[in-house]
Every structure is written in structure tokens, then in C-alpha cells.
Amino acid sequence: MIKEQGLKVDIALPCATQNEIGKEHAIALVKNGCFCIAEGANMPSDIDAIKVFQEHNVLYGPAKATNAGGVATSGLEMSQNSLRLSWTREEVDNRLLVIMKNIHQSCLSAAESYGCKGDYLAGANIAGFLKVAKAMIAYGVV
Amino acid sequence: MSVISDVIAKVKQKDSDQPEFIQAVSEVMETLEPTEKKHPEFVKAKIYERIVEPDRMIIFKVPWVDDKGEVQVNRGFRVQFNNAIGPYKGGLRLHPSVNLSICD
């Protein structure tokens, strides 16, 4: 974990496990020039670390959005199985790109419509919640 | 007291032995405040209360033989949280630190 002073960082991709980055680590990252965090694990930054990123206008990509590629690709695998088809690497990659772009757009628009423009964390949580909540309403009490 | 803060308080009480689950619920729920006012239908259908409860949790035995031919046994966890928008999904983690709270 980066605690050393002066080790220059542009982009941090915490990809191991939960609560890797706490407040002190976040401060060290910001001090060392980090302008972008994209999470690749479940809950790698704790809430104090996220506050540090937001206060310093670091571009913060929350795991729910940035780490969705794995689950999305697993979904694409299920689609191929059901279709009895095998897509090329490029076909899968193109579909994944569309999915990730849509996720980004959903985060942006949800944040804007619910009064927290530019807040990717709130946007990702709200967009994800709305999708599930609306489906749950449609199903009824099950 | 808002429905959301009530839900967070209840999870803290009910699942007091699961710090990571409480952390995940709190962090998400706090950012969902703006949805509560805009969607009275969610409040009426108790969506906030229902969405923090997993559909089911499966805890199972994993017996295996290591490279030295020794029989080992571990405990496995699978939490099927919500399938309203599609199949249950998630990664596989093999690690001594895994517990129900983390899978949740």
C-alpha cells in the first residue's frame, strides 16, 4: 500500500479485497498526485477514503460501476450458452464496451436527476437501486 | 426518522456480527436518500426493507485432498441476494478470511 511520500501516482486501481484503502492511504494517494481511482474489487475504499477523494475532486469510479465488467462478461457467457453460439474475442469485447458505456451513462444521468450531479458513487447506487426496485415492484410480494 | 435510516438501524441490530455487510448497507443506503422522497411507491411496498434481506444463504462443506494426499475440509458460503433483474452472479474466493459477512 502506498504510504511513501513522493511516489508519484496518476491512477490507482485497487483490485484485491475490501477496505484496502483507508483515510491515510487516500490522503497519501492525493498528495502524490493521484487524479483517478477506479475500483476493481468489492468495497476496496472505506467511506472515509471516499470522502477524501470527493473533497479533492479525484475522479472516483465506484466498484458497482467500474467492477461490473466481470459480471457482465459472465452474463455474455450465459447468453452464448443459451444461444449455442461462440462469439469471437472481439465480439465479446465490443458488447462489453457497449455495456460499460451504458453503465457510465446511467451513473451520470441518475446522479443528475436525483440532485447529485457528477457524483459517480451516488449515481451508481441510485441507478442500480432503481433498476432492482422497479423489478421488485413488478414482481409483487415474493 | 426516515425509512432509510430506520432500515440501516435495523440491519445494525439484526446483523451486528457482520461488519462488512453493515458497512456495505450503510454506504449504499445513505446515497439513496433522494429516492425516498421521489418514490412513495417504494416506501409503500417496503422496498428498502426488502432489498437488504438476501433471498437465501447456503453454507456448505468442501472436502478435498491436498497435494500431499491429505484430506482437508473447509466451509463454503454462497449468498443468493436478489434475482429480480437476472441470475445470481458473483466471483469465487478461496481465502481463509472469507466469512458470511463478506459474501453477503
Which of B7, B8, B27, B48 has the most A C-beta neighbours within 10 Å, making it the best mutation to test the interface with A?
B27
Domain residue ranges of chain A, discontinuous segments joined by +? 7-61, 64-142
Q: Which tens digits make up the pLDDT trace of B24-37?
A: 999 999 999 999 99
Chain B residues within 8 Å of chain A (Cβ atoms):
20, 23-24, 26-28, 31-32, 34-35, 38-39, 41-42, 45, 47, 50-51, 82, 84-87, 89-91, 97, 102
SS3 call for A118? coil
How close, in Å, is residue B55 to chain A by CA atoms?
A: 10
Contact between residue A126 and residue B34 where contact means Cβ atoms under 8 Å apart: yes
Q: How does residue B16 score in pLDDT terms, banded at 50, 70 and 90?
A: very high
Contact between residue A44 and residue A20 where contact means Cβ atoms under 8 Å apart: yes
Q: What is the pLDDT along chain A (142 residues), one digit of tens a residue?
A: 555 567 788 999 999 888 888 888 888 888 888 899 999 988 899 888 989 999 998 999 999 999 999 899 999 999 999 999 999 999 999 999 999 999 999 999 999 999 998 899 999 999 999 999 999 999 999 9
Give all strands (DSSP E) within chain A, no chain letters. 11-12, 36-38, 59-61
Question: Which of A46, A114, A137 lies at the smallest CB-CB distance from B41?
Answer: A137
SS3 content of chain A, % helix, strand, coil (to 5): 60, 5, 35
- The pLDDT of residue B25: 94
Q: Is the pLDDT of residue B104 over 80?
A: no
ipTM rounded to 2 decimals: 0.89
Question: Which of B35, B89, B102 lies at the smallest CB-CB distance from A129?
Answer: B35
CA dist., res. A133 & res. A128, Å (int):
9
CA dist., res. A78 & res. A125, Å (int):
25
Quote the percentage of chain B above a pLDDT of 90: 77
CB contact under 8 A, A43 and B39: no
CB pairs under 8 A between A and B: 68
Q: Which residue of A has its CA nearest to B26?
A: A47
